Amino acid sequence: MKADGHPDYHTITVKMTDGTEFQTRSTWGSEGDTLTLDIDPTSHPAWTGGNQRLLNEGGRVAAFNKRFGGLSLKKK
């Protein structure tokens, strides 16, 4: 096996958007660095449920029926 085949794995501090911090091991930066996050699970809409489209709008079939629901192939 080749020597130096893996990156340096060391302890860093991660600072969340709400100011909380925790320590973890990472290949990012160097020993003791602080990674400040712009988006994290406490602020991102994917985790908080904010800024979400209504689910009861329906899918593609509902959109089609809404647009073309009044049309009919029957003769009057």
E strands, 6-62, are 10-15, 21-26, 34-36
The full set of domain ranges for the chain reads 1-37
pLDDT, position 26: 95
pLDDT, position 71: 76
Going by pLDDT thresholds of 50, 70 and 90, the confidence category of residue 12 is very high
CA 6 to chain centre: 28
